[in-house]
Amino acid sequence: MTLRELSASSGVSITELSRIERGLAPHVAFETLALIGAAVGLAVSIRAYPNGSPVRDAAQLALLRRLRGALPSGVRVRYEVPLGIRGDLRAWDAVIDGVGWWRPVEAETRLRDIQALQRRIGIKSRDAGVTGAILLVSDTRHNRHVLRAEADSLAERFPIRPRDLLATLRAGRPPASGGVLIL
């Protein structure tokens, strides 16, 4: 799609589109981005990340406590662990530390958008240079239904079955790859 075509479809001027495309528009209104996204067939969404002290809801805190309780005393759980990239505010919800190994954990109390979730974990894993992230999911009827329905799409990034992953972690051993953990 040319800038002229995009401008006609979105109602955003060619000049503004060119500035956005070249990274010369430091402050672009969300409405403008939504118009451009709609013109090319994309839904634009916003994510907010905490700046300063992280705030988690009670359900996520309870889920992370269940994780700590499911592991042996020789395995440590750290919470809100930064990716380790200077200036990057993203963090893993938790990191499990064993003797000579560690695995990042993303905790989800209610599964909604599996593609977005996998993309977010994939990007964080890539940027942090890690493999074998663990997806920690609350044990609810809804989440089990979503996991069954999306088993094929989750299998590549999270190949270890929940029961096998939990047994490996309880033994204090590092999982060979990523997996889904249901607690």
CATH number at residue 90: 3.40.1350
**8 and 79 within one domain:** no
What pLDDT does residue 84 have? 87
Average pLDDT, the chain: 92
pLDDT digits (tens, 9 = 90+) for 43-75: 888 877 656 555 557 889 999 999 999 999 999
53, part of any domain: no
* Judgement on whether residues 11 and 73 belong to the same structural domain of the protein: no
Give a yes or no: residue 50 inside a domain. Answer: no
Q: What is the pLDDT of residue 59?
A: 87
Flag whether 172 is in a domain: yes
The reply to whether 73 and 160 lie within a common domain is yes
Q: Are residues 174 and 108 in the same domain?
A: yes
Structural domain count, the chain: 2
Would 48 be classed as within a structural domain? no
Residues 64 and 22 in one domain: no
The pLDDT confidence band at residue 164, using thresholds 50, 70 and 90, is: very high
Q: Judge if 26 and 97 occupy the same domain.
A: no
Q: What angle do CA 44, 178, 81 make, to 5 degrees?
A: 70
- Are 92 and 173 part of one and the same domain? yes
Task: Determine the structural domain holding residue 145 and report its residue range.
Answer: 58-182
Tell me whether residue 44 is in a domain.
Answer: no
CA separation for the pair 133, 60 (Å, rounded):
17
Place of tokens 């930064």: 82
Least confident segment among 12-26, 41-55, 69-83: 41-55
Residues 81 and 165 in one domain: yes
Question: Is 49 among the domain residues?
Answer: no
- Cα–Cα distance for residue pair 63/65, rounded to 1 Å: 5
Q: Which two tokens stand for residue 5?
A: 């075509």
Query: Are residues 175 and 142 both part of a single domain?
Result: yes
Nearest residue to 80 (alpha-carbon basis) of 65, 71, 90, 70: 90
In a shared domain, residues 144 and 105: yes
What span, in angstroms and rounded, lies between the C-alpha atoms of 64 and 60? Answer: 6
Q: Is residue 52 part of a domain?
A: no
Give the model's confidence band at 127: pLDDT under 50 very low, under 70 low, under 90 confident, else very high: very high
Can you count the helices (H) and strands (E) in the chain?
A: 8, 5
Shared domain for 79 and 117, answered yes or no, is yes
- Closest C-alpha among 99, 93, 60 to residue 76: 99
Residue appearing with tokens 């999306």 = 150
Residues 88 and 123 placed together within one structural domain of the fold: yes
Can you list the alpha helix ranges (DSSP code H) found in 22-93?
A: 30-39, 58-70
